[in-house]
C-alpha cells in the first residue's frame, strides 16, 4: 500500500456521531507523522454493501462498530484467527493484490480487553463470569481463555442466544456454563466481564460476595457508572470501565493500518500510545458534563 495515496480511514456504525475513535486514531497518526484522515461515518444495518461498493483507491482501512461486525463477514476475503473464532470483524484493511482490491478482516477486541485487564492488574483468572451474549461476548470469552481461565459462567436472559458461546468455549478449551440472571448464585469468580449496554439494569443484584471480591470489567463507559458498575461500587468492589479496552484495541488497529500486521509494533509505539491516551483523557474530561456518547457500541469498536 502507498501511504501517499491510500490514506483515508473511517469508523462505521450506527449511532456513530459521538465515536471517540477519530480522536484516538488522529492522535496516533499525528504522532507517527502520517497525513492520514480518519472520520466517523453513519452506516446503518443493511447499508454496508452499498458503502463498500463505492470505496475508491484512496481508502486504506475501516473500523467497524455495532451493528456491522457480523454484517461485514460475507465481504471479507480473509480473516485473522481471532475474527474467525469470534465471528466478529472490527477492523478491515483494504489492499490490492494482483490488481484486485481485497478486504482483510481482523478482531482487535480480544487483544484490547486482555491489555486493558493487565493494566488493571488482572493477568490470570481461574474462573470468569460473563454478563450478556451479544456481539462482544465472544471476544470477552476468548480474552478469558487467554487469561488461563478454565471455566466461564455466562449469565443471560435468553439461554438459547448464548449457545454459540458453549461451542466457542470448547474450541478454546474452556468449559462454558449458561445461567439465567435471576438464578445466579456462583460467587467465586476472579473476574466479571460485563458486555451489557451501559443503561442495563439486572433483574436482581449479583451475589454480594462476588461483588466484593471479583474485579468487574465493564465494556461500557458512557453513561457512567453503568448500572452494574454502580452495584459493584456500592459493595466496595473493584471496577474497570471500557475506556482501557477502547484505547488498546485502537492501538492494535493502528498497527494493522500502518504495518498490515497486528503483531508488528509501531515505530516508537510507547510514544504513540501516550499520545492516544492523552487525547482520550482530554476527551473524557470534556464528556464529564454528561454529554451523550456512543457508549458500549464505541467501546467495542475495536
- Which positions are annotated as active-site residues? 69
- Rounded Cα distance between 149 and 31, Å, is 37
Which residue blocks in 33-162 are alpha helix, DSSP H?
48-53, 81-86, 109-119, 137-146
- Three-state SS at 176: strand
- Rounded Cα distance between 211 and 206, Å, is 7
* Main-chain phi, psi angles of 2, to 5 degrees: -95, 115
Contact 137, 130 (CB under 8 A): yes
- Rounded Cα distance between 25 and 302, Å, is 11
Q: How many CB atoms lie within 10 A of CB 122?
A: 19
CA distances from 114 to 121, 139, 249 (A): 11, 10, 10
- H-helix or E-strand spanning residue 284: helix 269-286
- Rounded Cα distance between 22 and 130, Å, is 29
Q: Is the peptide bond before 67 cis (omega within 30 degrees of 0)?
A: yes
Amino acid at each position: 500500500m502507498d501511504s501517499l495515496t491510500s490514506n483515508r480511514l473511517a469508523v462505521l456504525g450506527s449511532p456513530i456521531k459521538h465515536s471517540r475513535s477519530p480522536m484516538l486514531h488522529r492522535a496516533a497518526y499525528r504522532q507517527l507523522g502520517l497525513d492520514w484522515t480518519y472520520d466517523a461515518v453513519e452506516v446503518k444495518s443493511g447499508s454496508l454493501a452499498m458503502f463498500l461498493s463505492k470505496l475508491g483507491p484512496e481508502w486504506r482501512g475501516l473500523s467497524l462498530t455495532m451493528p456491522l461486525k457480523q454484517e461485514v463477514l460475507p465481504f471479507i476475503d480473509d480473516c485473522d484467527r481471532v475474527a474467525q473464532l469470534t465471528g466478529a470483524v472490527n477492523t478491515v484493511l483494504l489492499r490490492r493484490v494482483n490488481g484486485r482490491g481485497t478486504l482483510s478482516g481482523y478482531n482487535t477486541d480480544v487483544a484490547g480487553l486482555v491489555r486493558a485487564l493487565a493494566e488493571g492488574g488482572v493477568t490470570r483468572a481461574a474462573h470468569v463470569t460473563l454478563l450478556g451474549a451479544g456481539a462482544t461476548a465472544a471476544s470477552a470469552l476468548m480474552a478469558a481463555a487467554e487469561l488461563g481461565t478454565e471455566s466461564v459462567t455466562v449469565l443471560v436472559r435468553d439461554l438459547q442466544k448464548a449457545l454459540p458461546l458453549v461451542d466457542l468455549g470448547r474450541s478454546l478449551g474452556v468449559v462454558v456454563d449458561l445461567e439465567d440472571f435471576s438464578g445466579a448464585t456462583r460467587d467465586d469468580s476472579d473476574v466479571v466481564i460485563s458486555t451489557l449496554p451501559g443503561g442495563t439494569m439486572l433483574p436482581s443484584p449479583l451475589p454480594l460476595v462476588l461483588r466484593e471480591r471479583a474485579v468487574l470489567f465493564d465494556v461500557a463507559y458512557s453513561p457512567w457508572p453503568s448500572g452494574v458498575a454502580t452495584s459493584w461500587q456500592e459493595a466496595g468492589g473493584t471496577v474497570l470501565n471500557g475506556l482501557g479496552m477502547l484505547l488498546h484495541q485502537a492501538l492494535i488497529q493502528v498497527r494493522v493500518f500502518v504495518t498490515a500486521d497486528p503483531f508488528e509494533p509501531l515505530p516508537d509505539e510507547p510514544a504513540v500510545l501516550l499520545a492516544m491516551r492523552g487525547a482520550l483523557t482530554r476527551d473524557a474530561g470534556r464528556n464529564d458534563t454528561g454529554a451523550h456518547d456512543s457508549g458500549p457500541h464505541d467501546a467495542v469498536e475495536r
